[in-house]
A and B are shown apart, each in its own frame.
Chain A
Amino acid sequence: MARLFPAPPSTLTSALSRAAVHFPNRGVSVFDSRGRAHHRRSYPEVFAAAQQAAGCWVAGGVEPGDRVLVSLPTSWAFLDAWLGALLCGALPLAVAPGAALGAGASQIRKIEALVDRLDPRRVLVTAGFRRSAEAAEAARILAVATTPEEIAAQTSASSVLPTPEPSDIAFLQLTSGSTGHPRAVSIPHRAAVHNIMSSDQAIGAPQGSPAHEWAETMVAWLPLHHDMGLVGTLFQSIVGGLDLWLLPPGAFLARPRKWLEHLGQHGTAFAPAPNFGYQLCVERLDAASRVGLDLSNWRAAMTGAEMVRPETVAAFCEAFTPYGFRPEAIRPCYGMAEGTLALTFDIKGEGMRTRPLPQGADSSAGLNEIVCVGEPIADTEVHIVDAGGRPLADGEIGEVVVCGPSIFAGYFNDPEATAESLRDGRLWTGDLGFLHEGELYITGRLKDVLIVRGSNLMPHEIEWLAESVTGGGGALRTGAFSVARGAAGEEPVVVVEVNEREPEKLRAMGQEIRSNIGRTLSLPVADLVFVRRGRIPKTTSGKVQRRALRDQYLRGEIERLETTDEN
């Protein structure tokens, strides 16, 4: 199965031309939004289309270093635009195209916040979104908005495209879906290539050779605005010369069986997903709909981007082992956009391994058994430190701190946030965990971010939406956090201080808060709790202490005000 594998590329730009030259018989197949028909292009065709798109960007005035936002669903229009921006030396940034139901207005606010923060030359959106922006008179967006149809109508400039240095920034990635304070990480070419090559090595470790030597196919559905989608599936395939079968996320969410069907059909495969993807397969495919699947080709099933839940892995193995799935194919990993993608990988290939939560530890993820996420990728060190930055011994829980060549260059145009995360050349992850015999176990996190179905949400965003209903935000405060609810993963809880006591009025207010959060973020609130004024713990300067609030909630110490709400 071994193929002639050229030297690794030095940049993502050269990775594209390299794939066109060395892997002409491999390519990318992109499915339509319902996962029915697909359109395939070989790597030479992918490269040619990206060059054409790069010429269109140049003709439209895009210069090296300009930010180009691409807010489109998974499609060839997305790939051409993003890869074209990369080739012309601009900094492409993929932005989620908005939730499926409702959420039109919040998408406009989100893009506006990004335009303000990143000052992009162009924002590529669907014609439908632009009509909404026109109706909302969103002038700052309209000044830079363009659509795939307009780009295609542009005559491609035949200028010579730049050759970037490995140390140059290749692209930007968003770290959370926040409307208020978007943060975009700057990823140098060198970091991206290092991460992809290290992952290739780590994925293949149990087989004794890098993944590109034995894998033929990747079947993926992760959104391309997510690091695991962009780096872990698209670029992992381009660099490794794999045939990539790309389902839009919605096609998987609607019909998870499609992912598993294709994993069985196109040769030796590997594929990543967050925990909730595996959980969705277990929940949606009953015994009858599993019949006919053949998962024996699936050699590495990476699970990361959110807490790996032992019960999910166990349920998935139980459900799909009869259909050829190999439990040892489960490969927990850990990473984040600030590390390009993966920072650690389970390279033993023995299936999921767990350790009990150390005595006295507070697992903010609600787990007693902690999944091993493996050892650091090549050239990378992982340390566990206490609050004062001192290294801790094996088995002791502290903050996970990482250094290595895959670490990002900083947050774009946000020196304050950069200084907080990147200190002494090390990435302070904000995650909590412990080491055992050189392998990492994640137990929770220091940061207040909520991670729901693999996506990060900032708590203040939810709090604003609640406070805009109650008129709070001054004396009356709100605290949002997430709690683990069984195998489904984490769900948001919102605690709101009120002066109101009348149960019927509180019910109406609760309804409005749920509606505001639901319409804006497409997020159902798992629990909404009203408390008396002053009951939310705060620092002396008045900042909400979300972790303390969450601890109180988990211990059942919160005194709820009565409402007539059945929830």
Chain B
Amino acid sequence: MDMTQKALNVVAKVSGKDVAALQPELELVADLGIDSPKALQLLLDLEEELDIEISDEDAAKMDTVGDVLAFLNPA
């Protein structure tokens, strides 16, 4: 499984949404209902499942599903 798919699975698990419904433009808070406890769960789950580190500064730039994916696959 590639990083993108793994990350989408984590976002789906934390938000309780279907992975097929996770469009890049969807906002983590407004659209997926990721409040602050879920946000921290999401960051730690991403770090552990993908074996990466996400700094507070990078996390602060993540507004949408697409932002999460862009962080994993920088252009």
**Do A253 and B30 form a contact, CB below 8 Å, given A104-B60, A128-B57, A522-B36?**
no
CB distance from A565 to the nearest CB of B (A): 11
Q: Is the CB of A100 within 8 A of B36?
A: yes
Complex CA distance for A101 and B43, rounded to whole angstroms: 9
Complex CA distance for A501 and B60, rounded to whole angstroms: 36
A99: chain B residues at CB < 8 Å are: 36, 39, 60
Q: Is the CB of A519 within 8 A of B60?
A: no
Complex CA distance for A519 and B31, rounded to whole angstroms: 11
Contact of A104 among B28, B36, B61 (CB under 8 A): B61
Q: Is the CB of B55 within 8 A of A254?
A: no
A484-525 toward B: CB 8 Å interface, digit per residue (1/0)? 000000000000000000000000000100110111001111
Complex CA distance for A164 and B54, rounded to whole angstroms: 43
B57: chain A residues at CB < 8 Å are: 126, 128, 131
A126: chain B residues at CB < 8 Å are: 56-57
**B17-46, CB < 8 A from A:** 27-31, 33-37, 39-45
Cβ of A102 under 8 Å from chain B: yes
Q: Is the CB of A522 within 8 A of B61?
A: no
**Do A128 and B62 form a contact, CB below 8 Å, given A100-B39, A514-B30?**
no
Q: Is the CB of A519 within 8 A of B27?
A: yes
Cβ of B59 under 8 Å from chain A: yes
Q: Is the CB of B27 within 8 A of A253?
A: no
Q: Is the CB of A102 within 8 A of B47?
A: no
Cβ of B63 under 8 Å from chain A: yes
Q: How many residues of A contact B (CB 8 A)?
A: 36
A365: chain B residues at CB < 8 Å are: none
Q: Is the CB of B40 within 8 A of A515?
A: no
Give the residue name and chain of the A residue nearest to B37 (CB): A253
Give the residue name and chain of the A residue nearest to B60 (CB): A104
CB distance from B69 to the nearest CB of A (A): 14
A253: chain B residues at CB < 8 Å are: 36-37, 39-41
A519: chain B residues at CB < 8 Å are: 27, 29-30, 63
**A130-148, CB < 8 A from B:** 131-132
Contact of B62 among A102, A255, A453, A523 (CB under 8 A): A102
Give the residue name and chain of the B residue nearest to A128 (CB): B57
B55: chain A residues at CB < 8 Å are: 128
Q: Is the CB of A515 within 8 A of B43?
A: no
**Do A101 and B33 form a contact, CB below 8 Å, given A34-B47, A253-B40, A254-B43?**
no
Cβ of A378 under 8 Å from chain B: no
13 extra A-B contacts, CB within 8 A, seeds A33-B56, A97-B56, A518-B29: A98-B60, A100-B60, A101-B28, A101-B62, A102-B29, A131-B57, A254-B40, A254-B44, A254-B45, A280-B37, A511-B30, A515-B30, A519-B63
8 A-B pairs with C-beta separation under 8 A: A101-B34, A102-B29, A128-B56, A250-B43, A254-B41, A511-B30, A517-B30, A518-B27
Q: Considering the complex of A and B, which 6 residue pairs feature the smallest CB-CB distances, nearest first?
A: A518-B30, A518-B29, A128-B57, A254-B44, A514-B30, A253-B40
